[in-house]
Structure 1
Amino acid sequence: MFELDYRLENDCVFIGSLSLCRIMLMKDANYPWIILVPQRENISEIYQLDTDDQEQLVWESSFVAERLMELFDGDKMNIAALGNVVPQLHIHHVVRTQHDPAWPNPVWGAVPAKAYLMTELDERVEQLKKALETSTFKPAE
């Protein structure tokens, strides 16, 4: 049975799900930052997914990346699956702009995470739910 790593649970807000992945918003208001987590047990690397899941992951990642870039008018989309701290497979999707606090360097460790105000968080979640609407998207309640 799939179980989300407690660190992802603590650091993110659940937005909804696609066929394969949970969609999580990173609690860092410095950047529009989504994490996709394939809902499969004991997977730490993309190559461990079966072929169908690998193809679905590429589709879902591309779908999310395109919607985020449109929504936030990004200059660059950073996509990464590191897993050095949290081994559960999760793929970061960070919209980068030339005006963000870490540009042009990686976001990790560049500046302290900035907490969302509650109203900002609610607005961001609703923005994302609307942007990700598709026949396979199931929004969080």
Structure 2
Amino acid sequence: MDCVLCREDGGDVLWQDDTLRVVLASEPDYPGLCRVIWNAHVAEFSEMPVAGREHMMRVVSAVECAMRRILQPIKVNLASLGNQVPHMHWHVIPRYSNDAHFPLPIWAPRQRTVSEALLASRRAQATLLRDAVRHEVEQALA
């Protein structure tokens, strides 16, 4: 089996432990989009050990908290699809009323064009997530 999330980090690693990693994804329309990726290849959430599921959701929640504090989106979307990459991971997505797809999911047809200036500003803010994610995860797991 050739799995991209087994083979590659999936983004810039912000935090990791032996079981999972938090990455800042390279998504041009969505600076700050993070993924929480289970390290072992598991396709479904129910295939994970109970303690692993609980650990993962604590980390997902901590990433959301960091994102809300640093990026101040109007909404955070959480999604675990796996249709294209059947490896357990959660998308933690900052949403804004003027993002490219709002109010639809980010995988829906584009609703508008977002200026490069606004995206550059959001990219600059997203650089602050590394320390914020580390702090929130460490608190959540303490």
Instruction: Give the Cα separation in 2 of the matches to 1:96 and 1:8.
Output: 29
More helix by proportion, 1 or 2? 2
Q: Which runs of 5+ in 1 are unaligned?
A: none
Q: Structure 2 matches for 1:77-92, cutoff 5 A? A: 77-92=76-91
RMSD: 3.3
CA contact (8 A) 2:77 2:94 kept: yes
CA contact (8 A) 1:36 1:61 kept: yes
| More displaced stretch, 28-37 vs 79-88 | 28-37
Instruction: Give the Cα separation in 2 of the matches to 1:109 and 1:11.
Output: 22
Count of residues in correspondence between the two structures: 129
CA contact (8 A) 2:63 2:136 kept: no
Q: Percent identity?
A: 19
CA contact (8 A) 2:10 2:23 kept: no
Q: Which runs of 5+ in 2 are unaligned?
A: none
CA contact (8 A) 1:18 1:136 kept: no
Q: Secondary structure of the residue that 1:52 maps to in structure 2?
A: helix
1:132 equivalent to 2:113? Answer no
Q: Name the residue aligned to 1:17.
A: 16
1:38 is displaced (CA, Å) by 1.1
Q: TM-score, normalised by structure 1?
A: 0.74
Q: 1:11 to 1:69 in 2, by over 3 A?
A: same
Q: Name the residue aligned to 1:60.
A: 59
Q: Secondary structure of the residue that 1:133 maps to in structure 2?
A: helix
